[in-house]
Structure formats: structure tokens, C-alpha cells
Amino acid sequence: MVDLAAARVLAQSGLLKPARPDQLIGMALAVARWGLTPATGYAAGAARHGQKPALFDDEGMLTWREIDARTDRIAGELRARGVAEGDAVGLLARNGRGFVEASTALSKCGADVLYLNTGSAGGQIDEVLTREKATAVVHDAEFAGLLAEAAAGRLEITTEKLTALATEPGPGAPRKPEHTSRQVILTSGTTGAPRGAARSGAGIDDLVSFLSRIPLKAGEVTVIPSPVFHAWGLGHLSLAMVLGSTVVLRRKFDPAQVLADIQEHRATTLVVVPVMLEKLLQADPSAYDLSSLRVIASSGSALPGELAEKTLAAFGPVLYNLYGSTEVAYAAVATPEDLAADPRTAGKAPHGVTLRIVDEAGKDVAPGESGRIFAGSGLSFEGYTDGSDKDRLDGLIATGDLGILDGEGRLTVLGRDDDMVVIGGENVFVGQVEDVLLAHSAVAEAAVVGVEDPSYGTKLVAHVVLSGKAGEKELQDWVRSKLARFAVPREVQVHDELPRNTTGKVVKRELSS
């Protein structure tokens, strides 16, 4: 049941625009044919706006009708080669039509799609495919060597081969599967091996929730350099299907190309992870006509306050920062107004999302007090595919972070609950130390870790990438001027770059002490 507030959000997004009777019939037939699955998106789009561009990538443009017809053919080919309903199939592909068409076609087969990280090592992929009991793997040709061991004994086919088969004669689309295809997204694995987090898909309430805080509109253009195998990029690809929006996908992230794509396609939305914002700022956005841009949607890792301020100054009041995870989906969104008031805020919970801060006993803490963050919505995951789960509380899921809610419901994330370090009996949140270091004019990147120390029990070590000259004592004095003395790192190590995963998160376990 859609309430008045939800109807208002949908109307503002343009989703409630009237359609011709033939379009409505075609959309109803698409749902009847494929059910409420990812396969329905392009089939319904083909009925409503079939000749409009659905996708621009490095190979050119595809319309909604073309993608629907091509994925019918690809699904028939996959079924003929042995992909059955309920099979788990790995997909290892970069942003582009290969990913989009393989994912859609696998959904039409009734297979569960396991989105593999293009930054993973071969051994990691082998472990994931084995654990998830994958019967097949679809991949870009460039990953053939990486998959040499992992693909052994499994059906293997490249996205390039499927693209070539898309317009050739062959088996038609399979019948409507009885098994509802699931999307299995891997956790980022910054603290251990990636695990599969499964979800069956979003409903209307979840769409309303997202659009209530990030004002995307139907029929526009979205540029997605964020990797679409990850929950953030995949979520926006799915939203574009529902909204009938055109997406621009490139295999590799090139800041200048991203800015040129916004200019050429008059894009209104840009989907990034924070580390990409740094690169875009360095590429001189003032040299491009970006006047069409209404939304820069950022997520995937922490957004430093300093970077938020620089982005707002360079692009204007268009930055929206989403706080969430693969497991909880989204928990809070900071609008440009929120970020202007406090660049470090994670914002407020969207419509339909429950957000709580609790103590170790699971009791709500008072506004302004710190505690564990729990969140929940219809998009929360069903549990890890290996049978394990996150901590749950009254139907909500632990994000793994500590935070504070102020009196207006704005969330400040203090850092991972295992990133709180006790020094001399005092709690130190390393995220706060990192933010202070990043505010120094000579620090480009910073990560702080707690390590065992024979003299002090635990000490803080700061790992930094410098953009100017600064010595260890200068940086220690800088932190001392902003925070308590026990929060000052006892060591500062300088690196050429910090180890990051494909979504831009620093992999702290790889930092030496």
C-alpha cells in the first residue's frame, strides 16, 4: 500500500507519469513473463521506451529494446549450455554491456548471480566459487588467466562470446523460471575473506526510501564509474532500470573521461566512491560544462569532511553521501544542506529506514552519546550465504560501526567498532584522528591503526601519503592541537600510496605496524 508521502516522492521522481495503453499492456506482459526479477527491468523498459538509449559504453549505444532482445538470445544460449534454474553462476566483468547483459540473461535463466570482485586474486575467486557451489562462471576475456584454476570443472564462457552470440540465430529465451533469481553481492573483505550477502530484490517501499533523500528523476542520464559488481554501483544500475534512465559505463575509471561524459550526455547524476572524488577534483572540473549535474551520489567508504567541503566548493550543492553497507543496504543519507552544516555527518535515515544507537546491553543511548549502530529496511540482506550472519537486534542489523545521533536525528559515524582503541583507559576513535590528519595541508591520505606495544599496551600508528612537506613531529603536534594527548599517534609512517580495495576502502590489515 503506497501512502500519501510515498506517492508524493514517486510523483516528484517522475515515475507516476501516465503511459499509453499499449505501453501499459507491454509492461504488464513483461512482469507476467519474468515476474518481479531483475530480468523484468529491460523487458518493461522495452515496452515503454524501447527506442531510447539504455546504455552507453566503450562499444557504443544500446536501446532498451536491443538489450531486452539480446538478453533473450543470451539467456537461451546459457540455458542450452547447461545453466539451470537455481544454479549459482559467478560473474566477473568490468563496467559495460558484458556485465549488464550477462547479469540480465542469468536472471532470465532463473540462476543466482554471484558478483565477483575484479580486484580479487585467483585464489580468492576459487574459494568463493567453491564455497557458493557455483556451476559456471561468466567473465571478461582479460580474466581468463586469473580464472585458470577457479574455472576448472565449471562451465566457462566469456562476456565477449555472449555479446557476439547476441545477434546470431540460436535458441530463444527460456520459459519463465520458477526459481526467483537472487543477487549475491560479496562483502568488501577489508577485514577478512569476502563473503556472499544475498538479497532477492527491492520493493516499492525501498525505492521510495532511497528517493526520499536522493532526488533522482526518471528518464535522465546517470554516469556510473563506481564498480557495478559492488552494492553501490549495482544499486544505481537497478535504479536506472526502474526509472527508465540511461546509464554511462566505462571499463576503466578515467577522471577526464567521466567529466567529458557528463558534459556530452548532459548527465544529471554521477555515482562515485570517495576516492574517485579526489581524482575528479584533480582533473579540473571547471574546464567542463557540468551545469546539468544535479546529484553526485557518494558511498562505499568513509567521506572525509575535508573532501566533502572541497567537492561542494568545486561542484556546487549537489553532493549526497550515503552511509550503509552490503549487509544493511543504506542507513543514512547526508544531503548538501546536511554537509554544509557539518561536513562529517552521515545525515539522516531515509523514509522507511530504522536507525538506532545502542549500548553493549542493546539499550538505546541518549542523543549525543556514542554506541553501536543498528539499521534496518526492506533491502537488508538475508544473511551470508555460508550460513553466518551479522548481529541482529529487534530485526535490525549491526553495521559494525560506532556512532552518535544528535537531537535532530543526524548521524555521525565514529569508525568501526573494532577501530576504537583503548589507550590509558581512554577510548580513541581512529576515524577522528584520521580526519584531523587529513585536514593538514600536507596530508593527502591517512589511515590510523592501533598496534600492540610493550611499553604502552597499545599505541597509535599513523600511515600517511603526503602532498607536501611535513615531518613526524609536525603532524603529531597538529593532532595534539586538535585532540586529547592520548589520541596523538606515537609513530607516523609515510607511504607512496595506501592499500585500497576496488571500492576505495583502505585495507588496514595490509599496513605494517
Q: What is the DSSP letter of 180?
A: P
The CATH classification of domain 4-181, taken from the options 3.40.50.12780, 3.30.428.10, 3.30.70.1400, 1.20.1250.20: 3.40.50.12780
C-alpha–C-alpha distance, residues 198 and 112, integer Å: 9
Q: Does residue 416 contact residue 400 with C-beta atoms inside 8 Å?
A: yes
pLDDT at 293: 98
Q: Say if residue 197's pLDDT is above 60.
A: no
Q: What is the pLDDT of residues 128-153, one digit of tens each?
A: 899 889 999 999 999 999 898 877 88
What fold characterizes domain 420-510? GMP Synthetase; Chain A, domain 3 (3.30.300)
Q: Say if residue 74's pLDDT is above 90.
A: yes
Q: Does residue 500 contact residue 188 with C-beta atoms inside 8 Å?
A: no
Q: Say if residue 306's pLDDT is above 70.
A: yes
C-alpha–C-alpha distance, residues 358 and 126, integer Å: 38
Residue 467 neighbours by CB under 8 Å, 6+ apart = 441, 442, 443, 444
pLDDT at 482: 87
- Domain(s) of CATH 3.30.300.30: residues in the chain: 420-510
pLDDT at 72: 95
DSSP string for 270-296: EEE-HHHHHHHHHT-GGGS--TT--EE
Q: What is the pLDDT of residues 360-390, one digit of tens each?
A: 888 999 999 999 999 887 665 555 666 565 6
pLDDT at 368: 92
Question: Of the segments 250-264, 347-361, 439-453, which one has the largest average pLDDT value?
Answer: 250-264
**Helices 21-34 & 39-49, crossing angle to 10 degrees?**
160
- Domain(s) of CATH 3.40.50.12780: residues in the chain: 4-181
Average pLDDT over residues 483-512: 86
